């Protein structure tokens, strides 16, 4: 039972707490169209790359950068339904944080506390979608670079398979390229200033990292989408409508307590750096600043920011606490007594009793994790939550009434409709890289009842409108020949002959 002692026990408890935190009801606006795309790939045995889910982009080539994760998701869904998806999210989150924990210095309790803080920051983006895979591979890439810098062993060749697999799982592989760029810039900064820290890379090592970083980026094209994988990250970011339409692409709302933890991590890191005597390594500086800027620009970047910042915070807190402890122990007798009492208590505790107690705690957390998984994926809770988040009753009405014509739908519900209302291709869904500013701009024009909104609907021969009932366009449809069809507390449907 030695694995239940000290650090291994703390690590086990930490990972179970993260699992408990990350296991949740697996309902996300984008999850649905990922499942549908995965189903199309699964059924055809060919990567789904030509759009059939919408009528506004029907027949056009789509750079499906998450095809492999979509196949994984639909496979999990077929085997274990929502429960499998929830467990997948929880395990992926726990493994991601494990790789970050491995890079940290200091006592296990300090490391665990920092990891938990980072986990709370990242938790806002833990959901059943391919993005969570990018967080895992980002954490693995950070660990590979950490090993290279701290042990001197060159395992950069691992970046080649990492980038190949990553680019087939999600287009977020570009985060790995940006990470390598930040490390290179930081170590060049150290070399130019002559401020070499304990783990700074020399010019030869910087060159090797640059080469392997470039190789990794090139190998991202080993993909059914080919060299288009080099384009997709920039194509997505280039959609101007993202920040206006999608919450996760907008700047964080720091009025929400859970998002304020990002500021705690950011300012806590700079405060610990300023107070500790340890030099702020250039690679740490560039990483925290670059990914911190990205996190302040878009909430979806909380993940990579927390993953790269947590080890930096732990490093400087360890130095800071060690310095404070030594000073307090020397100056204040009470702290010497506390230290002596702690050391004596550790010696006096019966090892068998300690192992039994630790085993009981671990078993309890396993039971809690299992109970939460069962609870959050209970069928009744899934149906209730789905009804609260999505137009479940409106979809049933459309299936019963079967009105004909093109459907103009809510952006937030587009993915849900591609899975639950497959009879009607959508106007738009969460694939912003496919629709671009052109279609999304038309969508916003209609929803906000701006000038020429009727022209947009006429051009697309729209006969059915399904939107949140508080949208401006809903208030004027009656005046332009649209007939009321269905309404509940959140959704309205209008028809036109």
Mean pLDDT value across residues 429-436: 90
Tell me the pLDDT band of 249, cut-offs 50, 70 and 90: confident
Three-state secondary-structure class, residue 376: helix
pLDDT for 260: 93
pLDDT for 242: 62
Question: To the nearest whole percent, how much of the chain has pLDDT over 90?
Answer: 75
Please count the helices (runs of H) and the strands (runs of E) in the chain: 20, 4
Who has greater pLDDT, 351 or 301?
301
pLDDT digits (tens, 9 = 90+) for 383-413: 999 999 999 999 999 999 999 999 999 999 9
Q: Is the pLDDT of residue 281 over 70?
A: yes
pLDDT digits (tens, 9 = 90+) for 39-51: 999 999 999 999 9
SS (H, E, C) 186-236: HHHHHHHHCCCCCCCCCHHHHHHHHHHHHHHHHHCCCCCCHHHHHCHHHHH
C-alpha angle 463-466-470 in degrees, rounded to nearest 5: 130
- Region at 390 (left for phi over 0; alpha for psi -120 to 50; beta for the rest): beta
DSSP assignment, residue 53?
S
pLDDT for 198: 73
φ/ψ of residue 82, rounded to 5: -65, -30
SS (H, E, C) the chain: CHHHCHHHHHHHHHHHHHHHHHCCCCCCCCHHHHHHHHHHHHHHCCCCCECCCECCCCCCECCCCCHHHHHHHHHHHHHHHHHHHHHHHHHHHHHHHHHHHCCCCCCHHHHHHHHHHHHHHHHHHCCCCCHHHHHHHHHHHHHHHHHHHHHCCCCHHHHHHHHHHHHHHCHHHHHHHHHHHHHHHHHHHHHHHCCCCCCCCCHHHHHHHHHHHHHHHHHCCCCCCHHHHHCHHHHHHCCCCHHHHCHHHCCCCCCCHHHHHHHHHHHHHHHHHHHCCCCCCHHHHHHHHHHHHHHHHCHHHHHHHHHHHHHHHHHHHHHHHHHHHHHHHHHCHHHHHHHHHHHHHHHHCCHHHHHHHHHHHHHHHHHHHHHHHHHHCCHHHHHHHHHHHCCHHHHHHHHHHCCCCEEEECCCCHHHHHHHCCCCCECCCCCHHHHHHHHHHHHHHHHCCCCCHHHHHHHCCEEEEEEECCCHHHHCHHHHCCEEEEECCCEEEEECC
Three-state secondary-structure class, residue 348: helix
Q: Is the pLDDT of residue 199 over 90?
A: no
Who has greater pLDDT, 357 or 178?
178
- Kindly give, in sequence order, each residue whose CB lies less than 8 Å from that of residue 471, ignoring residues fewer than 6 positions away: 410, 447, 448
pLDDT digits (tens, 9 = 90+) for 285-342: 999 999 999 999 989 899 999 999 999 999 999 988 887 766 666 565 555 555 555 5
pLDDT digits (tens, 9 = 90+) for 13-65: 999 999 999 999 999 999 999 999 999 999 999 999 999 999 999 999 999 99
How many CB atoms within 10 Å of residue 342?
A: 9
Contact between residue 156 and residue 144 where contact means Cβ atoms under 8 Å apart: yes
Predicted structure pTM score:
0.92
pLDDT for 485: 94
Tell me the pLDDT band of 240, cut-offs 50, 70 and 90: low
pLDDT for 334: 55
Distance CA 3, CA 276 (A): 33
Distance CA 346, CA 338 (A): 12
- In 383-448 the beta strands, taken as DSSP E runs, fall at 406-409
Nearest CA-CA partner of 37 in 2, 62, 56, 1: 62
Contact between residue 215 and residue 159 where contact means Cβ atoms under 8 Å apart: yes
Distances (CA, A) of 92 to 60, 132, 235, 370: 33, 7, 27, 16
Contact between residue 47 and residue 40 where contact means Cβ atoms under 8 Å apart: no
Q: Outline where 102-130 has alpha helix (H).
A: 108-122
Nearest CA-CA partner of 216 in 277, 137, 305, 148: 137
Q: Is the pLDDT of residue 218 over 60?
A: yes
């Amino acid at each position: 039972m030695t694995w239940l002692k000290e650090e291994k026990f703390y690590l086990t408890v930490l990972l179970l707490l993260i699992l408990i935190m990350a296991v949740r009801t697996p309902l996300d606006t984008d999850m649905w169209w990922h499942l549908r795309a995965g189903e199309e790939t699964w059924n055809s045995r060919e990567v789904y790359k030509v759009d059939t889910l919408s009528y506004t982009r029907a027949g056009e080539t789509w750079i499906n950068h998450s095809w492999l994760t979509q196949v994984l998701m639909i496979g999990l869904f077929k085997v274990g339904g929502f429960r499998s998806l929830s467990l997948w999210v929880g395990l992926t989150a726990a493994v991601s944080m494990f790789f970050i924990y491995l890079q940290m210095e200091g006592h296990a309790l300090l490391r665990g506390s920092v990891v938990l803080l980072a986990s709370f920051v990242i938790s806002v983006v833990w959901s059943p979608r391919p993005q969570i895979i990018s967080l895992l591979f980002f954490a693995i890439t950070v660990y590979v670079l950490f090993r290279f810098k701290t042990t001197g062993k060159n395992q950069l060749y691992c970046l080649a398979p990492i980038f190949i697999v990553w680019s087939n799982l999600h287009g977020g592989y570009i985060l790995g390229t940006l990470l390598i760029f930040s490390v290179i810039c930081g170590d060049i900064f150290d070399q130019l200033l002559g401020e070499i820290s304990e783990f700074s890379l020399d010019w030869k090592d910087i060159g090797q990292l640059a080469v392997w970083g470039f190789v990794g980026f090139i190998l991202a094209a080993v993909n059914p989408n080919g060299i288009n994988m080099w384009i997709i990250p920039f194509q997505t970011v280039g959609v101007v409508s993202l920040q206006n339409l999608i919450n996760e692409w907008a700047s964080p709302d720091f009025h929400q307590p859970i998002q304020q933890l990002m500021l705690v991590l950011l300012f806590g890191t700079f405060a610990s750096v300023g107070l500790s005597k340890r030099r702020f390594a250039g690679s740490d500086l560039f990483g925290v600043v670059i990914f911190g800027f990205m996190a302040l620009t878009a909430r979806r970047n909380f993940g990579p920011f927390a993953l790269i910042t947590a080890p930096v915070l732990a490093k400087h807190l360890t130095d800071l606490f060690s310095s404070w402890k030594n000073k307090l122990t020397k100056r204040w007798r009470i702290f010497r007594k506390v230290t002596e009492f702690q050391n004596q208590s550790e010696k006096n505790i019966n090892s068998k009793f300690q192992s039994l107690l630790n085993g009981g705690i671990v078993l309890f957390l396993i039971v809690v994790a299992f109970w939460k998984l069962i609870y959050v994926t209970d069928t009744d809770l899934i149906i209730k939550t789905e009804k609260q988040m999505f137009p479940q009753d409106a979809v049933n009405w459309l299936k019963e009434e079967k009105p004909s014509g093109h459907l103009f739908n809510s952006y937030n519900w587009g993915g849900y409709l591609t899975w639950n209302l497959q009879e009607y291709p959508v106007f738009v869904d969460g694939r912003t890289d496919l629709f671009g500013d052109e279609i999304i701009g038309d969508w916003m024009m209609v929803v906000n009842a701006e000038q020429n909104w009727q022209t947009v609907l006429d051009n697309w021969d729209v006969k059915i409108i399904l939107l949140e009932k508080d949208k401006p366009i809903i208030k004027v449809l009656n005046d332009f020949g649209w007939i009321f069809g269905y309404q509940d507390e959140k959704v309205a449907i209008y028809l036109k002959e």
